[in-house]
Amino acid sequence: MMCDPLQSLFDDPVKFLAPWFVLVPALVLLASAAAAAVMRNLIHAALCLTLSFIALGIVFIALGAEFVGLVQLLVSVGAVAMVIVFAILLTRPDQLEQSRTALAGLRPAGGAAAAFALLATLLGFIFASPLAGKPLPAAAAAPVAKIGEALMGDHVVALIVTGVLLTAALVGAAVLAMEDRP
Amino acid sequence: MTLQILLAISAALFALGLAAVLSRSNAVMILIGIELMLGAANLNFIAFWRFSDNPADLTGILFAIFSIAVAAAEAAVGLAIIILAHRNLRSVEADDASQLKG
């Protein structure tokens, strides 16, 4: 009776349901990403992208990387998605894309074919790999204190370079988007 | 739950992002596709960290944190370029930005 799914559900509900904490948000992630890729309306696409960011953060948290999941939620949902929405509002593009070059009509079919070819190649390698069938290790924890020690210890140079990069990128973005008028 | 499932999800997410980049002509949609591909890369980092033999190293975690920071910088610069292109060309279609001079 140990193999009975219902029995294992009652024995240890958290262990039985654990894969679904990852799989359900992962399915939401794929569905909203697909919707973001095909939506004609830019605002709808940006909102679907926001939903996929939230689902990705939940996948990270369910996999045990709580800090990265929360950073993903704060940075991607709070900053990147908002900046994209603001750019859509500021540029007010005509909602529908128009074909302007001779080959533009082939673009959706070509893009889908290239993406499908890449997906088939990747899946072939993933399912052929001996590494990939590895079972889930017991538990992997990433305590915030350990992450902080690693960032301020071994990886402090990378941290400082990232800070310089962020500063330069944001100053550069402000200079680029600034009006020329005095 | 094996590593294969997570890698397949990540590959599907990357393919969706690539499809968005290649098949859309609007510059904002191209950026959305790039963000999807960056998310797929981060999912791979976290998946390999979760399944690694030595998760206490935190290698995948740190990679993902730096990758998120770089993605934020990339989004800020990309959207500033889109706003600049819109001011100069009155369009955010990638096909319209066909000259090297401003």
What is the DSSP secondary structure assignment for residue A106, as one 8-state letter? Answer: G
Q: Is the CB of residue A76 less than 8 Å from the CB of residue A46?
A: no
What domain range is A47 assigned to? 7-93
Chain B (61-80) residues lying within 8 Å, Cβ to Cβ, of chain A? 61-62, 64-66, 68-77, 79-80
Domains and CATH numbers, chain B: 3-96 (1.10.287.3510)
**Is the pTM higher than 0.80?**
yes
* Residue B55 exposed, middle or buried by CB count within 10 Å (0-12, 13-18, 19+): buried
Look at residue A112 and tell me if it is in a domain: no
Distance CA A90, CA A88 (A): 6
Q: Which two tokens stand for residue A146?
A: 């350990």
Q: The domain that contains A72 carries what CATH number?
A: 1.20.120.1200
Average pLDDT score over residue span A68-76? 92
Residues of chain B positioned with their CB less than 8 A from the CB of A116: 15
Do A155 and A82 share a structural domain? no
Between chains, do A97 and B24 touch, taking CB under 8 Å as contact? yes
Q: State percent of chain A over pLDDT 90.
A: 39
Nearest to A142 among B11, B58, B66 (CB): B58
Query: Is residue A14's pLDDT more than 70?
Result: no
Concatenated DSSP letters of A103-158 = TGGGHHHHHHHHHHHHHHHHHHHHHH-SSTTPBPPS-----HHHHHHHHHTTTHHH
A181 in contact with chain B, both atoms CB, cutoff 8 A: no
Give the ipTM of the model, two decimals please: 0.91
pLDDT digits (tens, 9 = 90+) for A138-154: 777 778 888 999 999 98
Average pLDDT score over residue span B25-35? 91
Average pLDDT score over residue span A34-48? 90
Query: pLDDT grade, residue A102 (50/70/90)?
Result: low
Between chains, do A169 and B73 touch, taking CB under 8 Å as contact? yes
Look at residue A137 and tell me if it is in a domain: no
Look at residue A153 and tell me if it is in a domain: yes
Nearest to B19 among A90, A112, A166 (CB): A112
Average pLDDT score over residue span B49-72? 89
Predicted confidence at residue B12, as pLDDT, reads 95
| pLDDT: which is higher, A126 or B94 | A126
Look at residue A86 and tell me if it is in a domain: yes
Query: Is residue B97's pLDDT more than 90?
Result: no
Look at residue A46 and tell me if it is in a domain: yes
Look at residue A102 and tell me if it is in a domain: no
Predicted confidence at residue A96, as pLDDT, reads 53
What is the DSSP secondary structure assignment for residue B56, as one 8-state letter? Answer: G
Do A11 and A89 share a structural domain? yes
Last residue of a domain, one of A31, A63, A93: A93
Query: Is residue A175's pLDDT more than 70?
Result: yes
Look at residue A88 and tell me if it is in a domain: yes
Predicted confidence at residue A13, as pLDDT, reads 66
How many structural domains are present in chain A?
2
| pLDDT: which is higher, A10 or A117 | A117
A53 in contact with chain B, both atoms CB, cutoff 8 A: yes
Residues of chain A positioned with their CB less than 8 A from the CB of B28: 42, 46, 84, 87-88, 91, 93
Chains A, B: CB pairs < 8 Å: 255
Do A85 and A14 share a structural domain? yes
Predicted confidence at residue A2, as pLDDT, reads 47
Do A155 and A89 share a structural domain? no
